[in-house]
Amino acid sequence: MFYGGFSMTSEKVEIVKGVYWVGAIDWTLRDFHGLWTPRGGTYNAYLIIDEKITLIDTVAPNFSKELIDRISTIIDPAKIDYLICQHVEPDHSTSYADMLKVAPKAKIITSMRGAEFLEKSYPGVKFPIKIVEDGSSLGLGKRSLTFVQIPMVHWPETMISYMPEEQLVFSNDAFGMQIASPYRYADQIDDWYEPLRAYYSYIVRWNAAAVLKAFKKIEGVPLKIICPSHGPIWRKNIDQITEIYHRWSSSPEKEQAVVVYSTIWKSTKQMAYAIREGIASVGVPADIYNLEEEYLSRAQGAAMEAKAVVVGAMTYNIDPYYPTAAFMPYLKHLRPTSKIGAAFGSYGWGGGATKVLTQQLKDFKFSEVLEPLDVQFRPTEEDLKRCFEYGQEIGRKVKAAFS
């Protein structure tokens, strides 16, 4: 059967014996509520065949049929006993009503807050809910699930489900990324780092402290397989992926910088490139993003790992030009308290952009904020030399932070 995303349901993915991926692939997704998804996305659900038949999570609006058809290639959906609701955001919960039509004896297993959020998200729908406590287990036959609540990763009701017999965790949004691929496992995909980073920085980083708390809760738990609710499944190098997540949640900054800017008549662009050259000249890798041409979430991913973030905008009336102004909340949501910040831009007469940006960097609690750099109208050779030296100063500060 073909669907809106042009996926077929004949693909059968058995992760370990009796545990199947039965999600949906959205090949055409390009914007996941603000997250740039140039390679599409997936909504993962997992089917466990045991004495009790169990479905972990569901899929996004318009993909219920794909989910149900995939399940039907393995088992009659009417035999499902449990629907595990780990997270109520609509990309995972919208299909519960459709699932209950084909699985009428199923109970929805969720946390106390999950039950509350389900009822408030789908007013008028009577869900057959069984609430489970943090740390409680549910026997399925030969296997079992232990539910671990991980509030604010990234909603208050979020929980994950651990299957000790297989050392496998259904991690919901954690360890996820948005990418549509012919492959279901991360070790089959070479370039997963940037999509994973973009997803983490946009969706998870704001709640980094909650991620660290979640790590504490599962400390010492043996783990062989991570099944997230988006993107590929992790079955190799588990220590590497958990280390990356831990680093991003504690100290994501590397010895590198990023310059982001927006411009109309290219004066600020000239400044941006001169500053970037200055940073690079002292041996600090510096990336550069024109915010008019890039999705903001792509620049955000780079900014998360940068020690210095240099934001540029020409003055539009009295404010930063819109693309840079729109980027600033993305920067704020990285919790950039260990970063060096600086602002630059060109103006015609009154100016104002760099003043606004500099104040925002201070409000976001950057650890250090430089005095801004302004150029009136078109930068002269002398102005570009000032930009280069400004970049050198930033680069040296980055180096000093790691020495």
Residues that bind ligand FEO in the complex, under the rule CB under 6 A: 87, 89, 91-92, 154, 173, 229-230
Using CB atoms, what's the residue nearest to ligand FEO?
89
Supply the angle between the helices 208-217 and 238-250 in degrees, to the nearest 10.
Answer: 140
173 noted as active-site residue: yes
Between 70 and 230, whose beta carbon lies closer to ligand FEO? 230
Kindly provide the residue ranges of all beta strands, DSSP E only, lying in 167-276, ordered along the sequence: 168-172, 225-228, 254-262
Report the C-alpha gap between 57 and 233 in whole angstroms: 15
Tell me the closest approach of the beta carbon of residue 400 to ligand FEO, in angstroms.
Answer: 38
Tell me the closest approach of the beta carbon of residue 172 to ligand FEO, in angstroms.
Answer: 7
Question: CB of 43 within 8 A of CB of 229?
Answer: yes
DSSP state of 370: P
87 noted as active-site residue: yes
Tell me the closest approach of the beta carbon of residue 322 to ligand FEO, in angstroms.
Answer: 28
Instruction: Report helix, strand or coil for 168.
Output: strand
305 noted as active-site residue: no
Between 28 and 380, whose beta carbon lies closer to ligand FEO? 28
Tell me the closest approach of the beta carbon of residue 230 to ligand FEO, in angstroms.
Answer: 6
Q: Which two tokens stand for residue 355?
A: 């003043």
**Beta carbons within 8 Å of 143's beta carbon, 6+ residues apart:** 18, 48, 50, 163, 165, 166
Buried b (16+ CB within 10 A) or exposed e, 136-171: eebebeebbbbbbbbbbbbbebbbbbbbeebebbbb
DSSP state of 247: H
Tell me the closest approach of the beta carbon of residue 91 to ligand FEO, in angstroms.
Answer: 4
Report the C-alpha gap between 288 and 301 in whole angstroms: 12
Write the single-letter amino acid at 345. G
Kindly provide the residue ranges of all beta strands, DSSP E only, lying in 96-143, ordered along the sequence: 107-110, 129-131, 137-139
Q: Which two tokens stand for residue 337?
A: 């308290």
Tell me the closest approach of the beta carbon of residue 334 to ligand FEO, in angstroms.
Answer: 18
133 noted as active-site residue: no
Tell me the closest approach of the beta carbon of residue 380 to ligand FEO, in angstroms.
Answer: 50
**Residue that has been written with the tokens 């660290």 in this structure:** 212
Between 152 and 238, whose beta carbon lies closer to ligand FEO? 152
Between 230 and 339, whose beta carbon lies closer to ligand FEO? 230
Between 44 and 268, whose beta carbon lies closer to ligand FEO? 44
Between 67 and 291, whose beta carbon lies closer to ligand FEO? 67
Neighbours of 244 (CB within 10 A): 17
Report the C-alpha gap between 307 and 252 in whole angstroms: 9
Question: Which of 283, 343, 338 is CA-nearest to residue 313?
Answer: 343
| Candidates 43, 199, 245, 295; catalytic one | 199
**Beta carbons within 8 Å of 109's beta carbon, 6+ residues apart:** 82, 83, 84, 85, 129, 130, 132, 138, 147
CA 376 to chain centre: 39
Q: What element of type H or E holds 369?
A: strand 368-369
Between 231 and 345, whose beta carbon lies closer to ligand FEO? 231
| Candidates 230, 289, 295, 390; catalytic one | 230
Write the single-letter amino acid at 398. V
92 noted as active-site residue: no
Instruction: Report helix, strand or coil for 296.
Output: helix
Between 71 and 203, whose beta carbon lies closer to ligand FEO? 203
Tell me the closest approach of the beta carbon of residue 155 to ligand FEO, in angstroms.
Answer: 6
| Candidates 66, 91, 253, 374; catalytic one | 91
Residues recognised as catalytic: 33, 87, 89, 91, 154, 173, 199, 230
